[in-house]
């Protein structure tokens, strides 16, 4: 059975639409397709005053920045028209300088692609995922298994082989898949051949199988290491590569192990006609076979490299970690796509037209007048965790190694580095002369407009968030159910009644304090005679919650894993559906009531008109 996905593309930069029809009982289940530029990054926020506006009608979720997932494989018709398969259920097509991206349900990693023409392309992945592209839409097929599929190769559209978990092998005849007897239960990671009666499959523990048109026969590989890829120029010049830098070569008679000079895992091997064979792998490893030996170099800034494909002429395509796509046309590499960051960890809205997002690998993005701009300061090996400010031209960011930086329009970044080197997780202030930063080992730092000073803390537990209402009413929360409160003179520990990690805190204007954390935990506290009793409140979800925000009217919004956004207005928590399934680490609301959420792999979504 097959299920068909119909995609309607919006020619502008607005949200794209996808519909489903004919979902079969064995279909893998494609949920939605998002079409647009991989690098598109527009955050549409209409300018307005700081006074909160009345909630407008017609708000909807849209994606401002698409995630940049790790690319695992590439196959194409030419160096300017090819398909890239990725983790998290993503397939992208590059055609004449433009990207089209599809996202599929359940985030199954898509491991391989092969095709015979622009309207005849197959892709396979985890849990038996098998998709067929007819030039317009992807059709979900049943390949005969629910096990993971890793390898795909064909000699023609009616003769395609898929390889996978526990020795799975199947053949596609142009219409349906037929299971084959591989004779092994070892996982197979790749398949490749020269013709229908000369096909090789490789996998775990050095497995190599050869198909002669009738039977699959095991071969002596000379290694017990896992082999991840196989490719050759002919039936008597075949290469396989894998774990611990393993390289083996077949000359038509036997397989021989070659010294690679590296212990990095090699994920693929390929070559252009008349040029040396290359192997790529972990940490940017790029090996070239010259004069009988492998010559090492590092490319792509040390990123993991997974997929290779050549156009049979002059261009080699390489894909890898965090959205990386590179094209080598001698003598230069051209980067066609490169991810921004591992993920974004915090976001803050300065006004109705400006937002700032920070994250791993030193990422600092500012959204102004509908455009995201990378303003990351040049600081090595830093992961930013928190951002807060007083306006679009004055904000603070904090991160690991005790780093604090201040951005001010027209000035260089101001940098502080704590002597203790303690990782900082969050920052918040009353104004730019009364700011608090919290983090590792219960550290609490205070900025008076001139210097940062460490405050006496009453905990050694890591503090993950801080928020308050005034200089005499500040809360910080963290691991082991930790809640501490500052009354303007000293910090005091509070009994939360929980030992679970507390990820975020928000103070409502009327006095109620909201805290969220692991497994949908929501604690609510209301001051009573100077004391707060923390009571659990049913959030209605069991997913981890990571971020909180709110507005002057008392509305509180939280976010968490699986694309979750929750809303609380004093009575109960309700879900605000996003139609995303990515982890959302932070959320912010601007004075006009628009929402911005950030999360894994650089995702930014907004809820606005």
For the residues 486-499, what does the mean pLDDT come to?
Answer: 96
**Tokens standing for residue 187:** 């996982």
How much is the CA Rg of the chain, to the nearest whole Å?
27
Distance CA 154, CA 224 (A): 27
- The stretch 551-557 carries a mean pLDDT of 96
Task: Tell me the C-alpha distance between 174 and 154, whole Å.
Answer: 11
Tell me what pLDDT residue 102 has: 93
34 pLDDT band (50/70/90 cuts)? very low
Beta-bridge mates of residue 202: 190, 208
Report which DSSP code applies to 182: -
Q: How far is CA 482 from the centre of its chain?
A: 30
- 247-276 confidence digits (pLDDT tens): 999 999 999 999 999 999 999 999 999 899
pLDDT at 121: 98
What are the φ/ψ torsions at residue 344 (nearest 5 degrees)?
-100, 135
Q: pLDDT-based confidence at 579, cuts 50/70/90? A: confident
Instruction: Give the residue among 407, 357, 437 at the shortest CA–CA distance from 598.
Output: 357
The CATH 2.130.10.10 domain(s) of the chain lie at: 68-337, 344-608
What pLDDT does 57 receive? 54
pLDDT in tens, 362-378: 999 998 866 789 999 98
pLDDT level of residue 342 (50, 70, 90 thresholds)? low
pLDDT of residue 516: 98
Q: Is the pLDDT of residue 18 over 50?
A: no
Domain 344-608 homologous superfamily, CATH: YVTN repeat-like/Quinoprotein amine dehydrogenase (2.130.10.10)
Q: Does 49 score more than 90 pLDDT?
A: no
Question: In the structure, what pLDDT confidence band is assigned to residue 529 with cuts at 50, 70 and 90?
Answer: low
Q: Give the number of other CB atoms < 10 A from CB of residue 83.
A: 25
Residue 600 has pLDDT above 80, yes or no: yes
The answer to whether the beta carbons of residues 558 and 566 sit under 8 Å apart is yes
Residue 139's DSSP bridge partners are 4, 132
Q: What is the pLDDT of residue 309?
A: 98
CA atoms within 13 A on the CB side of 55: 9
Q: Which residues of 163-192 are buried (b: 16+ CB within 10 A; e: fewer)?
A: bbbebbbbbbeeeebeebebebebbbbbbb
User: What percentage of the chain exceeds 90 in pLDDT?
Assistant: 80
pLDDT at 120: 98
Tokens of 492: 């005091």
Q: What is the pLDDT, as a whole number, of residue 212?
A: 96
Question: Any idea which of 45-59, 179-193, 406-420 has the lowest mean pLDDT?
Answer: 45-59
pLDDT at 68: 85
**What pLDDT score was predicted for residue 114?**
98
- For residue 218, what are its two tokens? 């095991």
Q: Residue 596, class by beta-carbon neighbours within 10 Å (0-12 exposed, 13-18 middle, 19+ buried)? A: buried
Selected from 3.40.50.1820, 1.10.8.50, 2.130.10.10, 3.30.465.10, the CATH number assigned to the domain covering 68-337 reads 2.130.10.10
Q: Give pLDDT tens digits for 158-207.
A: 999 999 999 999 999 999 999 999 999 999 999 999 999 999 999 999 99
Confidence (pLDDT) at 147: 97
DSSP string, 186-233: S-EEEEEEEETTEEEEEEGGG-EEEE-SS-EEE---S--S-EEEEEEE
Mean pLDDT, residues 210-234 taken together: 97
> Is residue 99 scored above 80 in pLDDT?
yes
How many CB atoms lie under 10 A from the CB of residue 25? Answer: 7
The Cα-based distances of 411 to 24, 358, 572 in angstroms read 60, 19, 45
What CA–CA distance (Å, rounded) separates 156 from 161? 10
């Amino acid at each position: 059975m097959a299920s068909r996905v119909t995609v309607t593309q919006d020619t502008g930069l607005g949200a794209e639409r996808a519909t489903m029809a004919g979902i079969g009982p064995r279909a893998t289940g494609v949920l939605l397709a998002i079409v647009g530029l991989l690098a598109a990054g527009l955050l549409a926020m209409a300018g307005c005053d700081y006074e909160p506006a009345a909630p407008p009608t017609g708000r909807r979720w849209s994606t401002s920045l698409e995630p940049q997932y790790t690319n695992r494989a590439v196959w194409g018709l030419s160096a300017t028209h090819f398909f890239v398969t990725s983790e998290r259920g993503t397939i992208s097509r590059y055609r004449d300088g433009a990207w089209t991206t599809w996202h599929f349900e359940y985030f199954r990693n898509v491991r391989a692609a092969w095709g015979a023409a622009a309207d005849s392309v197959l892709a396979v992945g985890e849990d038996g995922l098998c998709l067929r592209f007819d030039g317009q839409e992807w059709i979900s097929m049943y390949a005969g298994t629910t096990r993971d599929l890793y390898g795909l190769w064909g000699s023609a559209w009616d003769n395609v082989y898929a390889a996978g978990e526990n020795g799975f092998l199947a053949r596609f005849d142009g219409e349906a898949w037929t299971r084959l007897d591989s004779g092994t239960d070892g996982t197979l990671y790749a398949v490749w051949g020269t013709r229908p009666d000369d096909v090789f499959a490789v996998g775990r523990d050095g497995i190599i199988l050869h198909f002669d048109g009738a039977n699959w026969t095991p071969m002596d590989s000379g290694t017990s290491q896992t082999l991840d890829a196989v490719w050759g120029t002919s039936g008597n010049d075949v290469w396989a590569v894998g774990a611990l830098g393993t390289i083996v070569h077949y000359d038509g008679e036997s397989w021989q192990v070659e010294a690679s000079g590296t212990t990095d895992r090699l994920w693929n091997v390929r070559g252009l006609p008349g040029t040396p064979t290359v192997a790529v792998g972990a940490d940017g490893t790029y090996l070239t076979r010259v004069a009988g030996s492998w010559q090492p170099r590092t490319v792509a800034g040390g990123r993991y490299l997974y997929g290779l494909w050549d156009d049979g002429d002059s261009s080699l395509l390489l894909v890898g970690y965090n959205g990386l796509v590179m094209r080598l046309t001698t003598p230069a590499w051209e980067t066609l796509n490169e991810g921004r960051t591992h993920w974004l960890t915090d976001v803050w809205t300065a006004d109705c037209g400006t937002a700032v997002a920070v994250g791993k690998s030193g990422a600092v993005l500012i959204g102004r007048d509908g455009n995201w701009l990378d303003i990351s300061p040049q600081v090595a090996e830093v992961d930013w965790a928190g951002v807060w400010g007083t306006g679009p031209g004055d904000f603070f960011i904090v991160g690991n190694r005790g780093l604090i930086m201040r951005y001010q329009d027209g000035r260089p970044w101001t940098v502080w580095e704590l002597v203790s080197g303690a990782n900082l997780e969050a920052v918040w202030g009353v104004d730019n002369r009364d700011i608090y930063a919290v983090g590792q080992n219960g550290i609490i730092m205070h900025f008076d407009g001139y210097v940062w000073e460490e405050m006496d803390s009453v905990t050694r537990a890591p503090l993950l968030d801080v928020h308050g209402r005034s200089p005499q009413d500040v809360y910080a929360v963290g691991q082991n159910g930790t809640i501490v409160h500052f009354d303007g003179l000293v910090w005091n520990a509070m009994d939360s009644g929980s030992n679970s990690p507390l990820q975020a805190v928000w103070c409502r204007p009327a006095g109620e304090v909201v805290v969220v954390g692991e497994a949908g935990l929501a604690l609510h506290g209301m001051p009573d005679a100077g004391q707060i009793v923390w009571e659990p409140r049913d959030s209605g979800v069991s997913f981890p919650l990571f971020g909180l925000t709110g507005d002057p009217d008392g509305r509180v919004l939280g976010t968490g894993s699986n694309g979750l956004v929750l809303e609380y207005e004093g009575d109960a928590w309700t879900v605000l559906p996003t139609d995303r399934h990515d982890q959302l680490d932070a959320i912010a609301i601007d004075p006009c009531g628009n929402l911005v959420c950030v999360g894994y792999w650089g995702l930014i979504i907004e809820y606005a008109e």
